[in-house]
């Protein structure tokens, strides 16, 4: 970063030739452009996915807190392991989400793409959220969240069925009409 800053100062220096200043300015632009592009893309993504972005950050933070509490309670807390596992979870969530989003954009802006977007976001959010639920279930000795929610969670992890995850008692009692 210092090198870029110094290059800018030298490019503004009138004692050097126009060619030298142009080369320094070009060098700075080539070094800053990828960073600016990445920041612009991140800004665009957060504007488009503000709610999901906020929720995934909260889920990752809550997972860290609940996991830490569980391991403190069990006297099995190890800071290095805590830090490594949470960094790995963040890395995995980010990489898988980016790859799934690339697939979604390839599918195009249609109903299939929108359904896939919801599935990607729910699945991505479910990874840290399910760990929070499981740790809370252990901390509460199986009392909370209720067992039927845990069962739906385990079923969703197996089959990815959003309808089964979010169905209500009313949905279960309705008979299909033919």
Spatial distance between the Cα atoms of 149 and 139, rounded to a whole number of angstroms = 16
How confident is the model at residue 27, as a pLDDT? 82
Judgement on whether residues 58 and 140 belong to the same structural domain of the protein: yes
Given this model, what pLDDT does residue 7 score? 65
For the chain, give the percent of residues with pLDDT over 70: 87
Q: How confident is the model at residue 135 (pLDDT cuts 50, 70, 90)?
A: very high
Burial classification of residue 15, based on how many CB atoms lie within 10 Å of its CB (0-12 exposed, 13-18 middle, 19 or more buried) = exposed
Is 46 a domain residue? no
Residue 107 in contact with residue 116, Cβ under 8 Å? yes
Average pLDDT of 88-108? 93
Same domain, 93 and 19: no
The answer to whether 66 touches 132, Cβ cutoff 8 Å, is: yes
pLDDT at residue 84 tops 50: yes
> 2-18, pLDDT tens digit by residue?
776 656 666 666 677 87
pLDDT band at 178 (very low <50, low <70, confident <90, very high): very low
Same domain, 84 and 149: yes
29 & 63 share domain: no
Range of the domain at 15: 2-35
Supply the pLDDT for residue 176.
54
Residues 56 and 30 in one domain: no
On whether both 145 and 57 belong to a single domain, the answer is: yes
Segment 63-76 mean pLDDT: 96
- On whether both 30 and 59 belong to a single domain, the answer is no
Number of domains in the chain: 2
Identify whether 178 is part of a domain: no
In a domain, 77, yes or no: yes
> Taking 80 as the threshold, does the pLDDT of residue 77 lie above it?
yes
Residue 177: which pLDDT band, with cuts at 50, 70 and 90? low
Is the four-CA dihedral 158, 65, 77, 80 of positive or negative sign?
Answer: positive
Q: Is residue 25 part of a domain?
A: yes
Per the domain annotation, does 42 fall within a domain? no
Is 98 or 7 the better-scoring residue by pLDDT?
Answer: 98
Predicted local confidence at residue 108, as pLDDT? 84
Which pLDDT score is estimated for 159?
87
pTM of the model: 0.73
- Give the tens place of pLDDT for each residue, 34-64: 888 999 988 998 898 999 999 999 999 999 9
Query: What's the per-residue H, E or C state across the chain?
Result: CHHHHHHHHHHHCCCCCHHHHHHHHHHHHHHHHHHHHHHHHHHHHHHHCHHHHHHHHHHHHHHHHHHHHHHHHCCCCCHHHHHHHHHHHHHHHHHHHHHHHHHHHHHCCCHHHHHHHHHHHHHHHHHHHHHHHHHHHHHCCCCCCCHHHHHHHHHHHHHCCHHHHHCCHHHHHCCCCC
Per the prediction, the chain carries an average pLDDT of: 87
Looking at the structure, tell me whether residues 71 and 156 fall in a common domain. yes
Is the same domain home to 71 and 27?
no
């Amino acid at each position: 970063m210092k090198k870029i800053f110094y290059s800018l100062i030298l490019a503004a220096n009138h004692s050097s030739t126009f060619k030298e200043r142009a080369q320094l300015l070009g060098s700075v632009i080539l070094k800053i452009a990828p960073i600016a592009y990445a920041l612009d893309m991140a800004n665009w993504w957060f504007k488009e996915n503000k709610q999901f972005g906020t929720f995934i950050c909260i889920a990752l933070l809550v997972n860290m807190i609940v996991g830490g509490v569980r391991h403190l309670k069990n006297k099995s807390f190890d800071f290095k392991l805590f830090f490594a596992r949470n960094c790995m979870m963040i890395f995995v969530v980010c990489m898988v989400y980016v790859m799934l989003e690339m697939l979604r954009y390839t599918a195009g802006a249609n109903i299939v793409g929108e359904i896939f977007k919801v599935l990607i976001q729910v699945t991505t959010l479910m990874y840290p959220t399910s760990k929070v639920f499981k740790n809370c279930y252990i901390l509460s000795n199986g009392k909370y969240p209720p067992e039927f929610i845990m069962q739906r969670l385990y079923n969703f992890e197996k089959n990815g069925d959003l309808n089964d995850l979010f169905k209500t008692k009313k949905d279960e009692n309705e008979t299909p009409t033919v």
